[in-house]
Structures are given as structure tokens and as C-alpha cells.
């Protein structure tokens, strides 16, 4: 019996990168995992297949976040597969502007800011709000934020960090709100992680110097892997974390020390 046997989890953006690592780890721990995706259906199917190949259970939940009706669509898709929830992981997020680039502060537009906040801040708010009737007492809410909320973000990541700062505020407020139901609410704050999102500057021979510099920021001397974050989330999803709530867990490998 795994630590999460008999429990149902939903991981937004659960098909790739950190989300995949979270989904697979929760599956190994015995949870039945809803793998949410927007456009990456193939990746989500691969993640679900990997969970099942390891002896777990998974199902797919499709909904595009950041647009009107996103939370309703997500929960409608979820309800087709499950009748309740124990673990909600708000992992889905974006750090780029509407055209898929990183623009400095002086060039960031209103539309860019609204898009970042719609996906990173408003969607988790509404997903939690509409999910509370499904979330069982004693459940877990884990929000994936960023270590950039605890330091000075670079110009091109300022709007992104602002949108995640709202998630940190949401985390602490909901921990107070939902405590009487035995529901814990925490945030995990990763630093740079070796995912496809960061491949352009972390992978390949041409990026060896950038990777070395990034790894050197941590006293542990390396760049984080998705599983490093997935394992932190697994702890917060487990009974072992029952006395931890309203916290922002630094998962930067000490990069900001």
C-alpha cells in the first residue's frame, strides 16, 4: 500500500516537465491521478501511460486555462472520471508573453500582463474555488509558485513573478480559511529546473556555461531536475505534512542563500 492509496489527485499541467514528475510520483505513491493538459495531449497520454505502466491509475483532464469558463471546463472533465478529490496541485503556468517571448519591463504590454495573470493567478483561484465542493476534508492543496517571488526578478520575468506572487498570497489566506476542514494549503517555490521550458538556455553544448553558472548558484552545485520538485510536492500531499500549512517551501536548492 502506497502512502496515497485510495486518494484521488489532480495535477494541472500534469503532462510535462515538473507537472509530469509530480503526476508520476503521486501515482507511484498510490494516488489515482488526473493529468490535466491544454494543448499537449500526446505528452499527457505518455504521462498517464507511464503511471499505469508502474502499476498506478491515471486519467486525462483537458481544459485550456486563462480564458473564460476554464475552471468550469476543467471540473466538468474531472467529474467524468471521479466523484471526489483529495489532492489538488496547481502546477500549470506560463512565464512568457502572448507571442511566446520574454520581453523586458519597458516593452511588456497590458495584454501580456493580463495573459500571465489569467493563467498563473486567476485560473488557480477559480479552480480552487469551484473545486472545494469536491475536495474532501483533510485534503491537500499545493500551489507551484516560483522562487522569484522571494527575490528581485529580472526585468523580463517581472510580470511573471508578480503573477506568482498572487499565488503566494492565495496560499496563505486559504490555509487560514480551510484549516477548520483539516485541509492544508502550501506553495512550492522552485528555482531553475531542467525542463523543456528551459531547454533553450540550459541544454546543449552551446549552453554549457549558462548551465554551469545556474548550477553554481546552489550550494548543492547542480541544476534541479523535475523529480526534485515532484518529491517536495509528494511530501506536502502526504499525511507526513499534516502539521504544515500556509507555508512557502523554498525548492531552489538554496540558490538564494
Measured CA to CA in angstroms, residue 155 lies from 40, 152, 162, 178 at distances of: 29, 9, 11, 35
Name the residue with cell 490535466: 36
Give the contacts of 49 (CB within 8 A, at least 6 positions apart).
none
* HEC secondary structure over 1-60: CCCCCCCEEEECCCCCHHHHHHHHHHHHCCCEEEEEECCCHHHHHHHHHHHHHCCCEEEE
What is the SS3 assignment for 183? coil
Give the contacts of 169 (CB within 8 A, at least 6 positions apart).
none
Catalytic residue at 37? no
Angle at 194 between CA 201 and CA 13, to 5 degrees: 110
Give the contacts of 112 (CB within 8 A, at least 6 positions apart).
97, 98, 103, 159
What is the SS3 assignment for 87? strand
Q: Which one is catalytic: 18, 160, 228, 248?
A: 160
Strand partners, 250: 189
- What nine digits make up the cell of 114? 493580463
Catalytically active residues are 160
Amino acid at each position: 500500500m502506497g502512502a496515497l492509496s485510495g486518494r484521488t489527485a489532480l495535477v494541472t499541467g500534469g503532462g510535462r516537465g515538473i507537472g509530469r514528475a509530480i503526476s508520476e510520483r503521486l501515482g507511484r505513491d498510490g494516488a489515482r491521478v488526473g493529468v490535466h493538459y491544454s494543448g499537449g495531449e500526446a505528452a499527457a497520454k505518455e504521462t498517464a501511460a507511464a503511471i499505469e505502466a508502474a502499476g498506478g491509475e491515471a486519467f486525462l483532464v483537458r481544459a485550456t486555462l486563462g480564458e473564460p469558463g476554464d475552471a468550469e471546463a476543467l471540473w466538468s472533465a474531472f467529474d467524468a472520471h471521479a466523484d471526489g478529490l483529495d489532492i489538488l496541485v496547481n502546477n500549470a503556468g506560463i512565464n512568457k508573453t502572448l507571442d511566446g517571448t520574454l520581453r523586458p519591463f519597458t516593452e511588456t504590454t497590458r495584454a501580456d500582463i493580463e495573459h500571465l495573470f489569467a493563467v498563473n493567478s486567476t485560473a488557480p483561484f477559480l479552480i480552487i474555488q469551484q473545486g472545494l465542493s469536491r475536495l474532501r476534508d483533510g485534503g491537500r492543496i499545493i500551489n507551484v509558485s516560483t522562487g522569484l517571488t522571494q527575490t528581485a526578478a529580472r526585468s523580463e520575468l517581472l510580470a511573471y513573478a508578480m503573477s506568482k506572487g498572487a499565488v503566494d498570497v492565495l496560499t496563505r489566506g486559504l490555509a487560514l480559511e480551510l484549516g477548520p476542514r483539516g485541509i492544508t494549503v502550501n506553495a512550492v517555490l522552485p528555482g531553475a529546473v531542467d525542463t523543456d521550458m528551459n531547454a533553450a538556455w540550459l541544454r546543449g553544448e552551446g549552453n554549457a556555461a549558462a548551465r554551469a553558472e545556474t548550477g553554481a548558484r546552489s550550494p548543492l552545485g547542480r541544476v534541479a531536475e523535475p523529480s526534485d520538485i515532484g518529491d517536495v510536492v509528494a511530501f506536502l500531499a502526504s499525511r507526513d505534512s499534516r502539521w504544515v500549512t500556509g507555508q512557502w517551501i523554498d525548492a531552489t536548492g538554496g540558490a538564494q542563500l
